[in-house]
Structure 1
């Protein structure tokens, strides 16, 4: 993250902590928001919280930036001047938008039924979106970031060149980080994604002849094809391996690949069941 954006984030954290760390501050701020009819009465507590929550905190802080400015005027808070600075507020608005997008992505990756294929799809889509955002920002189009767009429009501003450069640099940095953690997949197990569309020449080379024959039989089974359309990918392979456990031989490439996906799902299910018991 560019130093300017990091500074904005750090200042936002300090501001929220200042308000929430003292009960009297928090109560007075709540009264102020109530009196002027603000939609949000309280800021979320932020004490070096995880990035997953930062989108919510930054959104609340930006939505209340005018109320925060009024409240801090009597507190001799050293960062008060930032809430009067359109460049700083523009970057706060951007951070609110981008962290909200990252929050949505993170929540999507936590779905119980997600597969490696789904994960790759979502990450690839996000990387391409970041590239799109970068192109638009370079052209002066802030529409990918609705909070920033509204702020600029309502205050009749133009995007500052420095802010634009910071957003471009941040988008590029995020794309690189995603690719470092999630390299482009060779899709070596893409046959599992839809076994009914794989051609003879597209089967993995490490399948044995008997495994290839079994796979071709499966790919032509209309009953299984009907099941595939009706249930999730994970449930299909779980049922398939349990119903016909020897279809792909004993512990070879195909069966072990399927078990890798199934075991992840079953571990998640067991974990959720155990957690549910603890809560009860």
Structure 2
């Protein structure tokens, strides 16, 4: 499947060089190795514009590229890849945001891994109803059955994707998670907490005001507000919540830098501007300007 994917990328990169606007799309996106979202959108556009691409290649006399579109398994493979990249894009977008923590990351990944395992079982049984594009393509085939070789490729690809995700994202410690999220539910065994923290944990667990605050605030805000009253327990919770779960904040900083310090402003000292843009605190510009005198007219 990896070789087939590389083959798709080569053909698409050749097709995109001079293809103009088609159907509802203003332009066919260029393939980019850097951005996963761009790659997923490109594959979906190719799947939607197969007829136009074939016509374009025929008019241009690109017989070597046109021959790929005539392969028996080209369209089913393309339909499968379009769906998989779309799902990866959705996962990627779910992990982005300023308020994401390790629990949100873990929940999203576990959900996606469960989907991969479910897809493997269904594909092994010949059921591809969950792959909308592939199911549509098979409906147009006379026997409506998935080719055995393609079934094997898809199953192996799903297993490989599951293996890579498990290798890249390590398992999260369950007990730490229960301490941070389920301390009021009674599911956490007190014996799993260190002896010097147990008394303070019991005080927090039976604090009704803290429980009301927990239901109203986010995890990060709640534990920050509890730090003065329950320092030991809060310190454990904050050690779990503070690490960056993804590189989103770092990447958003680079994006902000590119937007502010462009070619026309290359001498600009961007530190103050970036601090204002990236800060979660809202700037009170009107309050700051009230005590400033406007430039008088000459």
- Pick aligned residue for 2:12 from 8, 12, 16: 16
**Aligned-partner SS, 2:184:** coil
Q: What are the superposed Cα offsets for residues 173-214 of structure 1, whole Å, 9 maximum, x if unpaired?
A: 111111112233331302101220245734534341xx2111
1:137 to partner: Cα distance: 0.5
Match among 107, 120, 140 for residue 121 of structure 1: 107
Name 1:145's counterpart in structure 2: 131
- CA distance in structure 2 between the partners assigned to 1:203 and 1:64 by the alignment: 61
Are 2:182 and 1:194 aligned? yes
Matches within 5 A, 1:199-238: 201-208=189-196, 211-238=197-224
Distance in 1 of aligned mates of 2:244 and 2:3: 39
Give structure 2 stretches of 5+ with no counterpart. 261-272, 278-298
Q: Are 1:7 and 2:3 an aligned pair? A: yes
Match of 1:167 among 144, 154, 170: 154
| C-alpha spacing 1:199/1:65, structure 2 compared with 1 (3 Å) | closer
* Higher-helix-fraction structure: 1
Q: Is the 8 A contact 2:101 2:244 kept in 1?
A: no
Query: Do the aligned partners of 1:90 and 1:151 also contact (CA within 8 Å) in 2?
Result: yes
* Shift in Å, 1:145: 0.9
Q: Which runs of 5+ in 1 are unaligned?
A: none
Aligned length: 256
Using structure 1 for the length normalisation, give the TM-score.
0.80
Are 1:115 and 1:261, in contact at CA under 8 Å, matched by a contact in 2? Answer: yes
1:120 and 1:185 in contact (8 A); partners too: yes
Aligned to 2:169: 182
Does structure 1 residue 62 correspond to structure 2 residue 47?
A: yes
Judged with a 3 Å threshold, the aligned counterparts in structure 2 of structure 1 residues 228 and 173 are, in CA distance, closer, same or farther, namely same
Partner of 1:261: 241
CA distance in 1, matches of 2:134, 2:204: 52
User: Does the CA-based 8 Å contact 1:8-1:92 persist in structure 2?
Assistant: no
The answer (yes or no) to whether the contact 2:179–2:188 under 8 Å persists in 1 is no
Shift of residue 131, structure 1, vs aligned partner: 0.7
The structure whose Rg is larger is: 2
Task: Give the match for residue 100 of structure 1.
Answer: 86
